[in-house]
A = this chain, B = another copy of it.
């Protein structure tokens, strides 16, 4: 039997909205989510979990209350649990998020950018 890999490019081709992570794989109780973003997100944190960002294309900036990190293609960053952060993309960024199943993208903050957190593509 020939098993199929998960192709980031193929999955990205199915996405045309911003800030709506789509699940592409699970490892134990963690999920891999592909997302396209552009512009400003909201300040939020995740009280119970770290969150991993891997940039597939573009340049992501994550602002913290005490600074920022710039993450380019082929780079990653783990935002520690409980740390307030605000993603920002001046131009469109394609990225992979890794976090436990059930994490809401806006944390406890909510608002218009809150996405259904278990949509697969």
A interface, CB within 8 angstroms of B: 1-9, 25-28, 30, 32, 49-52, 55-56, 64, 66-72, 74-78, 81, 98-100
Enumerate chain B residues within 8 angstroms of A6, measured Cβ to Cβ.
75-78
CB of A3 within 8 A of CB of B69, answer yes
Knowing A3-B67, A69-B2 are in contact, say whether A74-B52 is a contact too (CB < 8 A).
Answer: no
Main secondary structure, interface of A, reads strand
CB of B27 within 8 A of CB of A75, answer no
CB of A66 within 8 A of CB of B25, answer no
Enumerate chain B residues within 8 angstroms of A25, measured Cβ to Cβ.
52, 76, 78
Taking the closest CB of chain B, its distance from the CB of A81, in whole angstroms, is 8
